[in-house]
Chains A and B, each alone.
Chain A
């Protein structure tokens, strides 16, 4: 784990082996979901990506760019080719084409399922490269090992989680690596590659704006701190030009690459960089006295032109209503923005700010190690290490705003922790290796004191004298036994990290002195503790991968006393839809289930997870919160044949439509003011029992969810296991909807809109209907029985 350059062919061989192993680890730790469940696509968005990939492999690339999808957003449709980030789809399509070209007949679904694990291995290697470029091979390998199993990243990249982030994190880290590489070498070749990597990132994920803002900030920082160099110019200027052009090639970005405020910072810094470059050029060629005159000249002209430019930009920005920023970016800068203005962004749970435990859950010990890594980055401070520090700091902020952006923090935290761990191991092993030389002839005063205190301390377990002296938890440290909690270890080690980092400063100041700064016992114990700490991390990660993040959310399981229960209701419902309805029937549901319905049931939906049209979603929200008759009219006007709701009251599935209902009311009310949120709340409380408001009890959502619910419950009282209460209105009939299918655990309930009443035909219809109804309604009754058996 030398901080240097591998060390000969043996070192190279060793690093390559370790890297291969890390890749295998990154791939295989994500396979828990396939082993525990099956090889299926997870969640919601991946189903859309999967469907797009299917289309791509079937119809080819040109058809794909021109694809107008009439199966979603009925009756509007959606231009898929122009509104989707194509990186993921193209990647998986290429992979599928490749494996088929060499006669490995994999299905598109299999390729999609395994795309994320494959790319997480790539991401680990990219992290190695980046960290190596910043702090050497040892830190690189440690960081790669850490990111291979960081829970935050695993949560987005388990097998089956076929989403943009899966490839985007690799693209992000790789772009940063190439930027740092260009910065270190000043080679135009790497600058070109950097622009191409940036292009791949733009193709893959909307998060590319993070790159195009972070890099200018870094350049600005370098300029302000007087670190301008030609390498900086070569790393940045071509990237802006090429990157902007390449980004404009992606249809979904298009002219936004020069029109929206997210990109303006980069142009501004581009101008500033040129002014500074000119100033430097002139300074090199002139005498100091002349230079002063020239500087005054350049500064006045430069600021004047910059001011003009800023004024033009401001005018452009001020002309647009949202100040040129997209809603998501604005809610990043002003965390309260979304909840104030855009309920649809605020309604998505992954756009909420994270809680403290989620930091511990998602990055675990890295949260403690990363600060030590930042300190280690300051010695010695280089352009590249300021870059990773900046990356760390900004991503911490962003992760604090949106829980989803924890994903961006994960690589930064891994890099920092890798640097910290590597520096710690370096110091500790170094001090063991050079032990015979010590006691060093002239140790720094603090170290002298340290050794003396250590000698006086009777317990060999105290880490270092200074810490033992300062540490108020000295007792805990000295009688450290088996009962010591892991948190304590973590905290102690973190302190230790810092200690070490401080020591390295001392070291660098007196380079003659070798690494022998710590006594033998202390370093041995330190290494031991670090190993314990990292093994806790490994255990946590494996647990997170196996238990917390492997569930596909489309198949649910629960462990009870009498064994494992599998709830496969979603696929049951989608299969029913695809087998029992006409191919051109329109199905309405809340937008969460839009992608799944089009992908699995192949039916046209009204709204889906690509929430591009707020009004359309609000219409569905309004229908769900209206009384039956009005809802029926709204759906009729949208040509809807079937409506389904997701209901968890029977089995206790908490993320069902009743729990999402307030968002439907809010979003509906945002566009149609006659829907008012207070009408659905009793004294500000959301309830569905007999205290609920009549508006609530008469809303379509309530009726569709609780229709015949009393018959299904054991005690006949209608006890809702999610809301933990008896429902308010128990016996009612539907007038405009009829139940056609309810899944095994009642999690999905499908209703058909009754055809419009016609006086003449009305009697004829009534004669035919009962027979149909009997056949279909018999199945839920049967299922109720089986349910009783199981519970």
Chain B
């Protein structure tokens, strides 16, 4: 057991040091993702306490948060300099796509909210 905790500690420090090297822009995106996911968590807790009665409202709430998180992750992948797959994609273009996708997402959400 001792080795496991030591491993875990080593892992955490390694992760921290690795993450410290991340550019500040990506960190902001990460924060946004974490925020979106925590709102999902809040909604799930609320749902388990109160119930999911207006099901479309519950569904659109959850999916809008997950959707925002997913889109932000996509954006993060595209603007990440280390990611060689998107070398010829300018970050401005990536952001424009991101905005468009969010626009569609939230139009649908508003429509579905009922």
Binding site for B on A (CB under 8 A): 186-189, 191-192, 195-196, 229-231, 233-234, 237-238, 241-242, 244-246, 248-249, 255, 258, 277, 282, 284-287, 290, 293-294, 297
Contacts and interface: CB of A to CB of B under 8 A. Distances in A.
B94 A238 contact: no
A249 B104 CA distance: 13
Nearest to A296: B7
Contacts of B63: 241, 244-245
25 contacts: A186-B85, A187-B97, A188-B98, A189-B101, A196-B104, A230-B86, A241-B63, A241-B66, A242-B101, A242-B105, A244-B63, A245-B59, A245-B60, A249-B108, A249-B111, A258-B59, A277-B73, A284-B82, A287-B14, A290-B10, A290-B11, A293-B7, A293-B8, A293-B11, A294-B15
B77 A230 contact: yes
Contact of B100 (A188, A229, A258, A277): A188
Interface of B: 7-8, 10-11, 14-15, 18-19, 55-56, 59-60, 63, 66-67, 70-71, 73-75, 77-78, 82-83, 85-86, 89, 94, 96-98, 100-101, 104-105, 108-109, 111-112
Contacts of B83: 230
Contacts, number: 100
Contact of A237 (B60, B73, B111): B73
B75 to A, nearest CB: 7
A297 B4 CA distance: 10
B17 to A, nearest CB: 9
A229 B19 CA distance: 21
Sorted nearest first, the 7 A-B pairs with minimum C-beta distance are A188-B97, A285-B18, A230-B77, A241-B67, A189-B97, A237-B70, A290-B14
Given A258-B59, A290-B14, A192 B74 contact: no
B109 A245 contact: yes
Given A186-B85, A238-B101, A241-B67, 20 more contacts: A186-B77, A186-B86, A187-B97, A188-B71, A188-B75, A188-B78, A189-B100, A192-B101, A196-B104, A233-B77, A241-B70, A245-B109, A255-B59, A284-B82, A285-B19, A286-B15, A286-B18, A290-B10, A290-B11, A294-B11
Contacts of B19: 285
Contacts of B78: 186, 188, 230, 234
Nearest to B104: A192
Contacts of A245: 59-60, 63, 67, 105, 108-109, 112
Contact of A242 (B67, B85, B111): B67
A195 B97 contact: no
A153 B73 CA distance: 40
Contacts of A285: 15, 18-19
A305 B18 CA distance: 26
A293 B74 contact: no
A278 to B, nearest CB: 10
B108 A192 contact: no
A186 B83 CA distance: 12
B74 A233 contact: yes
A290 B8 CA distance: 9
A245 B100 CA distance: 16
Contacts of A233: 73-74, 77
Contacts of B15: 282, 285-286, 294
Nearest to A196: B104
Contacts of A186: 77-78, 85-86, 89
Contacts of A297: 8, 11
Contacts of A284: 82
Contacts of B66: 241
Nearest to A246: B108
A245 B89 CA distance: 28
B14 to A, nearest CB: 5
Contacts of A192: 97, 100-101, 104
B6 to A, nearest CB: 10
A504 B14 CA distance: 48
Nearest to A240: B70
B74 A191 contact: yes
B32 to A, nearest CB: 15
B108 to A, nearest CB: 5
Contacts of A244: 63
B67 to A, nearest CB: 4
A241 B105 contact: yes
A242 B111 CA distance: 13
A104 B45 CA distance: 58
A762 to B, nearest CB: 59
Contacts of B98: 188
A294 B108 CA distance: 38
Nearest to B105: A242
Given A245-B60, A245-B108, A188 B11 contact: no
B40 to A, nearest CB: 12
Contacts of A277: 73
Contacts of A258: 59
B71 A238 contact: yes
A188 B101 CA distance: 7
A245 B107 CA distance: 11
B94 A188 contact: yes
B85 to A, nearest CB: 5
B68 to A, nearest CB: 9
A293 B75 CA distance: 28
Given A255-B55, A286-B15, A286-B18, A242 B74 contact: no
A781 to B, nearest CB: 62
A248 B105 CA distance: 13
Nearest to A284: B82
Nearest to A187: B97
A234 B97 CA distance: 12
B69 to A, nearest CB: 9
B8 to A, nearest CB: 8
Given A187-B97, A249-B112, A231 B85 contact: yes
Contacts of A255: 55-56, 59
A302 to B, nearest CB: 16
A238 B63 CA distance: 11
Nearest to A294: B11
Nearest to A195: B104
A242 B108 contact: yes
A237 B66 CA distance: 10
Nearest to A287: B14
B1 to A, nearest CB: 14
B23 to A, nearest CB: 13
Given A186-B86, A192-B104, A290-B14, A238 B74 contact: yes
A187 to B, nearest CB: 6
A245 B56 CA distance: 10
Nearest to A199: B108
Contacts of A234: 74, 77-78
A282 B22 CA distance: 13
B5 to A, nearest CB: 12
Contacts of A229: 85
Nearest to B74: A234
Nearest to B7: A293
A249 B109 CA distance: 9
A230 B18 CA distance: 20
A564 B15 CA distance: 83
A229 B105 CA distance: 24
A572 B39 CA distance: 65
A116 to B, nearest CB: 29
Nearest to A229: B85
B7 to A, nearest CB: 5
Contact of B89 (A187, A195, A248): A187
Contacts of A290: 10-11, 14
A285 B10 CA distance: 14
Nearest to A189: B97
A195 B63 CA distance: 14
A238 B67 contact: yes
B70 to A, nearest CB: 5
A32 to B, nearest CB: 41
A191 to B, nearest CB: 7
B112 A242 contact: no
